[in-house]
Structure 1
């Protein structure tokens, strides 16, 4: 029995050392990067908000983000794990389509970008595609009494700031875009 205890203790202590060093290295890197590992914070109406965590917007004057399988709860991120043929999932997607068409009456079902009706893997995706933002232009412009061109320009400005990786799909951070809308006043 002694011949098994010593190797087990050595292996355990070795793994504790390796994992401890790894943890300290990652913690150290987090303290020297921009924002000191505190996330991507912006100030909206005098309050600090995390732009790297998806948030729910339901009012017509705001752009809406991706649906969330965890109701935008950052403490418990995750997906629904329902397959594409699951009847509950298909019913949920149809409800999302119906809701989108109801709040965006100038659009058709054919034009709905997939990221507006499907949740991301984490349920907290802060970004939508440029196509998803453009899908919502008429509703937001009408609710804010703005021209559609002004809203398009705002999307273009905010998508350019988000897209620094070559060949990546164009995206827009929903919170930053909505903050930019608020700053128009």
Structure 2
């Protein structure tokens, strides 16, 4: 990714870096990075508390762990999430069932992989990565999705460009407390 090298000062000052691009013919992909001035181990405990995600993402109204089918791997969980969003004169609600896999690699980097089982998307996948960096943690969040309703790709990318940073600012405030001095 290389952002943390070229934009390190911006990240440390609280900026959220975002890149968007198209995904498939009617979808979008976004990659965002932010710095959290907290230990990775503390953040990991909070981020893997999936019902708490309703406090991180203002439009998410439900995030529940579902009973697993016979699951032998404790690093895998199953989630049900619902989000509601108001766009000008109409409201949209989306539901998604996810398989969630948690892993830590040899370098200590921790990742959470979200894969759609079923839901209101043609496809959906996300990855959240935590890395130790500058006395805190660098969070990288990658999402790619194709909605079932036809939305112009440019409009979808613009929504991702503006919505994800706003959501990640809320996430950072909840995780770190409101006393942060980022702009």
Which interval holds the TM-score relative to the shorter structure?
Answer: under 0.3
Q: Which is higher, the Rg of structure 1 or of structure 2?
A: 1
- Structure with bigger strand share is 2
TM-score, structure 2 normalization? 0.26
Larger RCO (alpha carbons 8 Å, 6+ apart): 2
- Structure with bigger helix share is 1
TM-score, structure 1 normalization? 0.26
